[in-house]
Chain A
Amino acid sequence: MLEYLAIIITAIFVNNIVFAQFLGICPFLGVSSRLTNATGMGIAVTVVMVISTLVTSLLQNYVLVPLQMEYMQTILFILVIAALVQMLEIIMKKVSPALYVALGVFLPLITTNCAVLGVAIMVTQKGMSLTQSVVYAFATAIGFLMALVIFAGIREQLELADVPRPMRGVPIALITAGILAMAFMGFAGIG
């Protein structure tokens, strides 16, 4: 139990996927101008990340390793993620149209979210067991959701600030993210 707690805290705070590992920056900058969008994106990523990590680590352990085809990892994983996202979109449309309206627009973007593929590859590199992988994926996604929500909250305020013209938009957002990353470095001692 303690081992899982350590994985969760490390993945959310110490090794935050956005601020410490630089993955998922595109949606982090692209979908963070409104708090509602940020929450939707974060939840969609959480769902996709957990399911795709489960499927890819099963494939890695029971297909690629026995066949000694580990070099196919990148191609196989990205195809699985793309197919999964597509499937999730279709299922969501049928089962819960309301949820589809809220989260559907973010789903196609997730295929090229490097955080999803990144986590899938990282858990195989770290040699985590299946449960560990899923817990790690879930915690990482929560870390992403948290980073996105905090950042969106700040950016909504930032729009009101009087910033020099060339710094408007992305540059000031990046500098803000840098200061946030500094705050997250304070967690470094916990791990």
Chain B
Amino acid sequence: MNFFKTIYHSAVLENPTFVLLLGMCPTLGTTSSAINGMSMGLATTGVLICSNAAISGIKNLVPDKVRIPVYIVVIATFVTLLQMLLQAYAPALNDSLGIFIPLIVVNCILLGRAEAFASRHNVASSVADGIGSGLGFTVALTLLGACRELLGSGSIASLSIYPESWGALLFILAPGAFIMLGFLIAIYRYLQAKSTKKRQA
């Protein structure tokens, strides 16, 4: 499979948020605005690319029985690095994402891609898979964040679209996250079903 095909496949056909339904906690927890969602997506993408590359590189050295703990340690190492970098260079971002930064360790996307992809492919396609999955995740989070921000406070990425007092606060709060994600997944499924039908016809 070539590089770009892998990216497309991981980002669209196996979109981690809309199709595989992985990594739901940061998806719901950090998307109160488009910027927050995007930063969380990019942070996860960075760790995912690094961990995919590293795991694919060491896959022949790791005994099969202890592979999961080894993968977790690799991922945790990169997350700790990210945490230190954010604390040093982007403390404001680190505060707004809060506990969800260390929790990237237990994001099922990372372990899922390590187990399902990186442990079976070479480094280059694992990096492509990391980029693709990460991109799919980032786009999903940004979209969810933008929708919630627009409905909740009438702006996208802090650019005002309509007066804030018209917004429904509900969408910024916890229930809005669940409801909005439910509708987005339904729309994604509808569009996908429509496009497969078109291809068959």
Contact = CB atoms under 8 A, between A and B. Distances in A.
Interface stretch (A38-46, A88-96, A135-143, A174-182): A174-182
A1 interface: no
A74 B102 contact: yes
B179 to A, nearest CB: 4
Interface of B (DSSP majority class):
helix
A122 interface: yes
A72 interface: yes
B177 A29 contact: no
A87 to B, nearest CB: 13
Which 7 pairs between the two chains have the least Cβ-Cβ distance? Answer: A178-B178, A174-B182, A22-B29, A178-B179, A25-B24, A175-B182, A171-B186
A153 interface: no
Contact of B175 (A25, A122, A181): A181
A83 to B, nearest CB: 8
Nearest to A125: B99
Interface in B133-190: 170, 173-179, 181-183, 185-187, 189-190
Interface residues of B, number: 43
Contact of B106 (A78, A164, A175): A78
Contacts of B179: 174-175, 178-179
14 contacts: A22-B29, A73-B102, A74-B76, A121-B103, A166-B186, A170-B185, A171-B183, A171-B189, A173-B182, A174-B178, A175-B178, A178-B176, A179-B179, A182-B170
Interface of A (DSSP majority class):
helix
A113 B99 contact: no
B58 interface: no
- Chain A residues touching B, range: 35 or more
Interface string A65-105: 00000011111001100100000000000000000000000
Contacts of A117: 102-103, 105-106
Nearest to B106: A114
Contacts of A24: 25
A82 B106 CA distance: 11
Given A29-B24, A122-B99, A173-B182, A78 B29 contact: no
